[in-house]
Chain A
Amino acid sequence: MRTFVPQLVQRGREPRWLAPLLVVVAVALVYVATAAPIRAAGANPAAAYERYVFTPLTSTSSLTEVLLAATPILFTGLAVAVAFRSGYYNIGAEGQFLAGAVGASFAGLYLPDLPGPLAVPVALLLGAAAGVAWALLPALLRVNFRIDEVVTTLLLNPVALLGVQGLLNGPWRNTGSGFPVTDDFGAGYEMPPAAPGARVHLGLVIAVVIAVVIWVVLARTATGLRVRAVGLSPAAAGFSGVGVNRVLFGSALVSGGIAGLGGASQVLGVGQQLTNEVSGGYGYTGIVVATLGALSAVGVVLVALLLGDITVGAQNASLVLQLPPQMGDIIAASLLLAVVSVLVLRRYKFRLRPGRFTGEQAS
């Protein structure tokens, strides 16, 4: 009998349709893998998925929630993507996001009388500057002393969180209630709506504009080509006259600035006061968003929307289907693992080959 052995063979060039196809395969795998826990939790997987993915898109109000949930992770996703594209592994978007929130709060608390048209831009600017400042030290250490930015940016995250808690339990404690949240900001500090009457605020528009700018810069400008070259091969880029350190430093600070802007947008757009929960891991989710989005601006936008969708869907599913709210996180995490591992297959061809000589002898 002739036997066939499945085999993976490296391929030279991948066809364009392959990556999207593999993403579809990954999604199918996630569906199969998560069906069991969903059933164990007492719900029909098909119905659950309908809640997770489709229900949030069916009404204007829940669609608004999706966009609101997508806004902060769009900022952090873009921040991480910009840094990763240049090969600077900024794991500190979380800390930079918090720093940005603190920067904006500073304006909101100490300049409460600024009028609306001035207050929001000032607060956003301060937020971005704070994000840049939080990214500065690791960037300097990396560029001047080659100290691994993964470690330094990561370790500054808890520092930022403790800093926020210190402020909220100290000088910025609420003067009325005594809870560890700030006083409400001045009246001018509410982010204007993205469209008249909508709950979605200007932050989303800013994030989308940043995504477009990143896309244009990476695809069409000399700076973008330098960033890509440094990210793909720092040695070759340096040899070709690209200032590798300058590119790394620049993208580290831009990344910090975008994350800081995200923190500012969040604190101004939702609640107009700084709380412990202002981030809740958006910086880390940003790494997921950037990676799933293949570090491209378009990909990041799509993934941020998808994750926003699942977040809102998970809230809905926990109410209606009594599914634990963590199920949404499980699905998002499985999706990341599945996509990243399945995409490795891009570089291979699958084929069946006839059984080996010795195998035939045996049979």
Chain B
Amino acid sequence: MHALLGENGAGKTTLMRILYGLSRPDSGTISIGGEPVRITSPADAITHGIGMVTQHFSLVGPMTVTDNVLLAGAGVGRLDRRNGRRLVVEAAERIGVGIDPDARVDRLSVGEQQRVEILKALSRDCRVLILDEPTAVLVPQDIESLFRSIRRLTDAGMGVLFISHKLREVTTISDRVSVLRRGRIVDTVATRGASIPQLAELMVGRRTVGVRRSDRQTMHDTDLDAARSIDEPDLEVDALDVPVDRPILSIRGLRLAGPSRNALDGIELTVNPGEIVGVAGVSGNGQTELVQVLSGVRHPDAGTIEVNQTDITGAAAADVIAAGLGRITEDRHACVVPHLTVEQNLVLEDLHRFRRGPFLDKRAIRAHASELIERFSIKAKPEDPVATLSGGNTQKVLLGRALSRDPLALVVSQPTRGLDVGAAEFVHTQLIARRAAGAGVLLISEDLEELLALADRIVVIYEGRLVGELPVADATPERLGLLMAGEAAA
């Protein structure tokens, strides 16, 4: 069991694509069992015994587990379903899980679907299994089960390459860790002798200071001190003029129809000034829709949303912004226009402020951009197209744009997904500083560590409903995990 650890952009995905024949290397060789092989397509990879499970499953939803597995190796002629079922059951035994070979794949949970992907790889007699960020979509209980399955495979002699940027998982499961940074393996160490800070340092190339909740109590000052201790410029945020005695963001009875069931089903939630409310949940349980509705890009079917007592239900994005809501969504490319420049993207939300007569005030736009670039340490020039920026810097552009208006309330979704440790830390300190200034923050995240570190309260969303609320002091990954799986009420 070999783990490949690296920040996003370090080259993990590229390396994986090369191994699976999706990209071609410029030079170098790949050897399997000591023999150099040439892999120019996924078919070659499969022939050489390489199996891969990506984050995005390639399953045919309306077909059964057996058919999906058969599809993976289908030749010509009649389908032998009976043999297929036997294959599925045998493979499932190898990884120690039970699975109904006749179940329709789209009726399975995400964790079960992932197992089907692994079964597909096993049915093709793979010798090396590559798992690309396999835990990103799983609840903690499923992660446990996945790890057990992986151990069974490695015990049986299979090589498993586990790609991740989550330090804790890597140290739990792997025997050896290779750390990738800027396209180079900077080190390969035995997991047993490695500590998390040591691996983190290898990953980012410098020692990091984590934003950690020193106490499970809500202690804004402590957090802010912790934030200040990190060497980031201009973190001071002037206190916002917010009424402290009532919610800054309140959501009542929010409902949004989805394809089969309600994507949002009666969401009731308030965020108070100076509070971070975390929304936990497995992806696909309504988080995306919640953010879309709050951001003003989709209209709810019922319910009301108020920001600082202004009703923004069904309002256009421009009015939502004007009401004082700052928004950062999970899909960065749906928030910035990649082929416009940094400075243009930074003013896109309030163009009317940057006009001189009928024209855009280029000097003011440039000055605005320079100021935000400085304040948010964006590594780019104002005239660079955003498309040329890294994920972290793109996120800083978004953050800068949202925060430059000093929003009273913030809706922030997966703010650190795909970011390296340094950038993630920066985002966290910014959010904490906003809370200290009195803003209310709704933080939607699939990263429980992030929620536990930042939020004052955590609510759990499951199938479009809020199924539980825990003050952070009572929240543990186990309790949240049960709620996230829809198996318990708080």
Report A's interface with B, CB cutoff 8 A: 7, 12-13, 220-222, 225-226, 228-229, 232-233, 235-243, 353-354, 356-358
Contacts and interface: CB of A to CB of B under 8 A. Distances in A.
B321 interface: yes
B420 interface: no
Contacts of B351: 222, 225-226
B355 A222 contact: yes
Contacts of B337: 228-229, 232-233, 236-237, 240
Q: Interface centre among B29, B348, B350, by most A CB within 10 Å?
A: B348
B335 A238 contact: no
B317 A239 contact: yes
B335 A240 contact: yes
A148 to B, nearest CB: 21
A236 B295 CA distance: 12
Contact of B358 (A7, A13, A221, A243): A221
Interface residues of B, number: 38
A356 B334 contact: no
Give 10 nearest A-B pairs by CB, closest first: A241-B318, A222-B351, A240-B348, A235-B334, A241-B317, A233-B337, A220-B359, A236-B337, A232-B339, A229-B337
A359 B344 CA distance: 48
Contacts of B385: 13
Given A222-B354, A354-B27, A238 B317 contact: yes
B205 interface: no
Contacts of A228: 337, 340
B318 A239 contact: no
Contact of A236 (B316, B334, B355, B360): B334
Nearest to A240: B348
Given A13-B388, A354-B27, A240 B359 contact: no
B38 interface: yes
Contact of A243 (B29, B318, B355, B359): B318
Given A225-B351, A241-B317, 8 more contacts: A222-B355, A229-B344, A241-B296, A241-B348, A242-B348, A354-B27, A357-B27, A357-B28
B26 A353 contact: yes
B47 to A, nearest CB: 15
A317 to B, nearest CB: 41
B75 interface: no
Given A229-B348, A240-B348, A240-B349, A222 B336 contact: no
A101 B338 CA distance: 40
B8 interface: no
Contacts of B296: 241
Contact of B29 (A12, A220, A357): A357
Contacts, number: 88
Interface string B376-395: 00000000010010000000
A9 to B, nearest CB: 8
Contacts of A354: 27
A322 B128 CA distance: 70
A353 B335 contact: no
A222 B352 contact: yes
25 contacts: A221-B359, A222-B360, A225-B351, A228-B337, A229-B344, A232-B337, A233-B336, A235-B333, A236-B333, A236-B335, A236-B337, A236-B338, A237-B337, A238-B317, A239-B295, A239-B334, A240-B317, A241-B296, A241-B349, A241-B350, A242-B318, A242-B348, A243-B318, A353-B27, A358-B38
Contacts of B336: 233, 236
B316 A221 contact: no
Contacts of B327: 239
B316 A243 contact: yes
A30 B352 CA distance: 47
Nearest to A12: B388
A239 B297 contact: yes
Contacts of A237: 337, 348
Contacts of A357: 27-29, 36, 38
A236 B331 CA distance: 10
A226 B360 CA distance: 11
The interface centre, meaning the residue of A225, A235, A236 with most chain B CB atoms within 10 A of its CB, is: A236
B329 interface: yes
A226 B318 CA distance: 13
A268 to B, nearest CB: 30
A142 B312 CA distance: 26
Contacts of A226: 351
Nearest to A228: B340
Contact of B333 (A220, A233, A242): A233
